[in-house]
Amino acid sequence: MSLNGLIMIATDTERELEFQAKIDRGEVIEPKDWMPERYRKQLIRMMSQHAHSEVVGMLPEGNWITRAPSLARKAILLAKVQDEGGHGLYIYSAAETLGIDRGEMIDQLHTGKAKYSSIFNYPTLNWADIGAIGWLVDGAAIVNQTALAKCSYGPYSRAMIRICKEENFHHKQGYQMLAYMMRGTKEQQEMAQDSMNRFWWPALMMFGPSDTDSPNSAELMRWKVKLYSNDDLRQRFIDRTVPQAEAIGLVIPDPKLKFNETTRHYEHGEIDWQEFKNVVSGNGPCNRERLRARVKADADGKWVRDAAEAYAKKHMN
Ligand code: 3HC
């Protein structure tokens, strides 16, 4: 290898050591800072998939806007779905600071190259599902995103601060909806329990595979992108959600759930990782329908983008 080649490797190694020292000191990495290519790639992967999750997440809830049981509930659901779209745009913009083009991220979603959260591949079969999504899905997202609000990449952590505030409204309105149903008729109580039964385990899968099966966690934790492991965040979500379920009379669909007085945590049954793998690999109940809807929405909205670009070219130069 030439002397120049050796010097370049030494410089890169030196920079990587300095980068890790910055991370270890708790310093925030900004877009203009030097960063290892792998750090940039990992963040693009995670942030773009997060943004995809927000946008695809609008579909299961949007399905019930026209069927909300009251004008008030329709307005709340409209606001929530609009918020999710905004979260997606926010995180796409944060991802673009890493040098990836928005169109490229959208293509990765539409061609199946990029993932989005498995939870959104389950159908919303009744109105209680809208409550379960707010309470469980946004509740899980809050646990995950509160940690991300302290992550090492500046634009991502700052995006999370605003998003978490809105997630808290999403979480509360969903829980209030189920609490209301659990004080209602027998049919309403059964509907709420049915929704709990269908969404509990997929909500636990939102935190990713177990730590032993998580190929990205070690690196992401070394770089303080992830501050806690998948299992730690999952446990935190379980510990805070079980008392909420009990408070309104919902039964957690896990016969092995038991509070351990010594560890002060809930022990739980085994997650069906085969189901997780099936849904993540595209064979969930709604994967095809969700992607079809996103591709159609993108095509239907092309004229708006073209018009905006034509206007910008004419008036903004
Ligand atoms: N759904 C789909 N894919 C998943 C997944 C899930 N629930 N959990 C893990 N995966 C994928 C990962 O993307 C990774 O695949 P890849 O390397 O091809 O991208 C693989 O499974 C292995 O998982 P890892 O644990 O190694 O991956 P990560 O370290 O990236 O951890 C994660 C996964 C916990 C989802 C992490 O990426 C993360 O925290 N992402 C940011 C938050 C996010 O995306 N949340 C999704 C929900 S957003 C939401 O709910 C919005 C709310 O407003 C409703």
Ligand 1 shell residues, CB under 6 Å: 45-46, 49-50, 53-54, 57, 84, 87, 115, 117-118, 137-138, 141, 144, 167, 205-209, 214-217, 220, 230, 280
Q: What is the pLDDT of residue 273?
A: 98
Q: Of the residues 53, 205, 207, which should be mutated to test ligand 1's pocket, given the most ligand atoms within 8 Å of the CB?
A: 53
Residue 292 has pLDDT above 70, yes or no: yes
Q: What is the pLDDT of residue 145?
A: 98
Summarised one tens digit per residue, pLDDT across range 8-18 is: 666 778 999 99
Three-class HEC string of the chain: CCHHHHHHHHHHHHHHHHHHHHHHCCCCECCCCCCCHHHHHHHHHHHHHHHHHHHHCHHHHHCCHHHCCCHHHHHHHHHHHHHHHHHHHHHHHHHHCCCCCHHHHHHHHHCCCCCCCHHHHCCCCCCHHHHHHHHHHHHHHHHHHHHHCCCCEHHHHHHHHHHHHHHHHHHHHHHHHHHHHHCCCHHHHHHHHHHHHHHHHHHHHCCCCCHHHCCCHHHHHHCCCCCCCHHHHHHHHHHHHHHHHHHHCCCCCCCCCEEECCCCEEECCCCCHHHHHHHHHHHCCCHHHHHHHHHHHHHHCHHHHHHHHHHHHHHHC
pTM of the complete model beyond 0.85: yes
Look at 3-17, 118-132, 199-213, 297-311 and tell me which has the smallest mean pLDDT: 3-17
**pLDDT averaged over every residue in the chain:** 96
Q: What is the pLDDT of residue 10?
A: 66
Q: What is the pLDDT of residue 9?
A: 67
Q: Give the pLDDT band (50/70/90) at residue 1.
A: confident
Atom of ligand 1 nearest to the CA of 54: 51
What's the rounded mean pLDDT across residues 291-312? 96
